[in-house]
Amino acid sequence: MSHEAAPVTEETVEAEFAALDVDSPLVGIVMGSKSDMDAMEAAAKELRDRGILHEVRVMSAHRDPDTVADYARNAKLRGLRVIIAGAGLSAALPGVVAAHTPLPVIGVPLTSSKSIAGGLDALLSIAQMPPGVPVACVGVDSARNAAVLAARILDA
């Protein structure tokens, strides 16, 4: 009996990738601090309720810049399709993620104990991106809307 390996074709490679991707998350939820978790949980809940696989990570654009860059650079290769990024104060996280990935990034401006004008600081930091590096910005503390938008992007 022959034990020759089956020829590797484009179809077999694609089939192997498809099999690997079955349980991999489609949406990455990242946030700048553990203190953002309560607000960002609304995004995770919405995705859970819709049966959309996701992962949740805490990483700060200012405190862990290398971690953020690595995560964003590898996101597409890992099978993620959308990234939701929440941060408060001078909220650089969504913009830095967008700078390192071609995936759509949805920013969630968050209030924190040191916020100015009820989160206006984070809202402007996230919305006012330079031309060519867009971040879709939902309302202050509107993590659920970010998840709904992610679901719509995935259906597009």
Q: Which residues bind ligand RP5 (CB under 6 A)?
A: 31-33, 35-36, 60, 87-89, 110, 112
Give the residue with the Cβ less far from ligand RP5, 26 or 85.
85
What kind and span of H or E run contains 151? helix 143-155
Which of helix, strand or coil describes residue 116?
coil
Is the alpha carbon torsion for 36, 37, 43, 47 positive or negative? positive
Q: How far is the CB of 15 from ligand RP5 (least distance, A)?
A: 41
Which is nearer to ligand RP5, 13 or 116 (by Cβ)?
A: 116
Contacts with 44 (C-beta within 8 Å, 6 or more apart), sequence order: 29, 54, 56, 147
Shortest Cβ distance from residue 86 to ligand RP5 (Å)? 7
Minimum CB separation of residue 112 from ligand RP5 in Å reads: 4
Q: Which is nearer to ligand RP5, 31 or 143 (CB)?
A: 31
Nearer residue to ligand RP5 within complex by CB, 12 or 35: 35
Please state, in angstroms and as integers, the Cα–Cα distance from residue 77 to each residue in 26, 54, 99, 139, following that order: 11, 15, 16, 29
Least distance (Å) between residue 110 CB and ligand RP5: 5
Q: What angle do CA 146, 28, 115 make, to 5 degrees?
A: 55
CA 20 to chain centroid = 20
Taking the complex as a whole, the smallest distance from the CB of residue 47 to ligand RP5 amounts, in Å, to 20
Q: 53 or 127: whose CB is closer to ligand RP5?
A: 127
